Structure 1
Amino acid sequence: MAVPASKTELLAAIDKTFTRLEDDLDRVPFSATRELVLEGHVKGTRMSPADLLAYLIGWNEQVLTWHRRRAEGLSDELPAPGIKWNQLGVLAQRFYQEHEGDTWEELRGQLRDLKGRIVSLIEGYSDTELYAQPWYGKWTMGRMISLNTSSPYSNARGRIRAWLRTL
């Protein structure tokens, strides 16, 4: 899928990648949702399908936090408080831990809710706000949203599909 370059394309990419991911998540055997069957986000580690959902939830929450902080006039804390861009593995592990007690259905519901909140956020912006100027470094707001929603949804789907083929 091409990198979104407009509000319409961004919303379509999120919808398409999320819908496809949901279809594949429907195929995950409940008994395997907490098994360490996937390559982790840190080299040499393993994660469960539930951890993968926690990772997606974490990034969706980060997107919403970035926008909330800006709306409140607060300084940026990207990617997350106390985390640098070269420490994303640490952040992934944090996301897993934050959701280790959540059930599969709770995780799925949280992810659906967050995706809906991000769609609402995007709908509140114009194409100009999303794509006409840098928002963080050289990245536009739309690109930053895409990098942390539709792109990870697609990556997660690839991981889940590859694993499902081994069953």
Structure 2
Amino acid sequence: MAVPATKADLLAVIDKTFAQLERDLDRVPPVAAREPVLDGHVKNTMMSPADLLAYLIGWNQQVLTWHRRRAEGLPDELPAPGIKWNELGVLAQCYYAEHEAETWDELRAQLRDAKDSIVDLIEGYSDAELYGQPWYGKWMMGRMISFNTSSPYTNARGRIRAWLRTSNHPRV
């Protein structure tokens, strides 16, 4: 899939990749949602499908936090307070822990809400704001949003699909 270069492209790729991910998440048996069956975001660790959703929720919410902080005139804290870019595995584990008590259905609803909030955020920007100038380092705002929405949705879908192909769980 081509890297989005306009607001319309960004919205379309988020819509498409999220819809594809949702279809595959529908196939995950809720009874298996907390089983550590996927490679984790830290080398030599395992995570559950629920952890994967927590990761996606966390990154979507992180994008929203970046934009809220900028709108409030606060300094950037990227990727997250106290976390460096080379410590993303630590951040992933924070996301897992933050959502460890939530059910599969609750996680699915939160992911949909986070994605919808990202879409609302994008709707408030013009093409020039999203792609006309660097927003963080060399990265355009639209690309930073894509890095943390459609790209991880695609990655998560691949992980879920690979597991489902080899899983002994009955499909729902």
Give the TM-score band, short-chain normalised: over 0.9
**Aligned-pair distance for 1:75?**
0.2
Aligned length: 167
Runs of 4+ in 1 over 3 A off after TM superposition: none
Q: Following the alignment from structure 2 to structure 1, what is the Cα–Cα distance between the partners of residues 144 and 52? A: 20
For structure 1, the residue ranges without an aligned partner over 5 or more in a row are none
**Aligned pairs (5 A) from 1:19-58:** 19-58=19-58
- The aligned counterpart of 2:161 is 161
Q: Following the alignment from structure 1 to structure 2, what is the Cα–Cα distance between the partners of residues 11 and 109? A: 20
- The aligned counterpart of 1:11 is 11
Per-residue displacement from partner, 1:2-44 (whole Å, max 9, x unpaired)? 1000000000000000000000000001111000000000000
Q: Following the alignment from structure 1 to structure 2, what is the Cα–Cα distance between the partners of residues 29 and 61? A: 26
Per-residue displacement from partner, 1:113-158 (whole Å, max 9, x unpaired)? 0100100000000000000000000000000000000000000000
For structure 2, the residue ranges without an aligned partner over 5 or more in a row are 168-172
Per-residue displacement from partner, 1:59-116 (whole Å, max 9, x unpaired)? 0000000000000000000000000000000000000000000000000000000100
**Aligned pairs (5 A) from 1:108-127:** 108-127=108-127
- The aligned counterpart of 2:92 is 92
Structure 1 counterpart of 2:133, which letter? Q
- The aligned counterpart of 1:140 is 140
Q: Following the alignment from structure 1 to structure 2, what is the Cα–Cα distance between the partners of residues 140 and 166? A: 39
Structure 2 counterpart of 1:4, which letter? P
TM-score, length basis structure 2 = 0.97
TM-score, length basis structure 1 = 0.99
Q: Following the alignment from structure 1 to structure 2, what is the Cα–Cα distance between the partners of residues 35 and 109? A: 20
The residue matched to 1:165 in structure 2 has which SS? helix
Q: Following the alignment from structure 2 to structure 1, what is the Cα–Cα distance between the partners of residues 165 and 94? A: 29
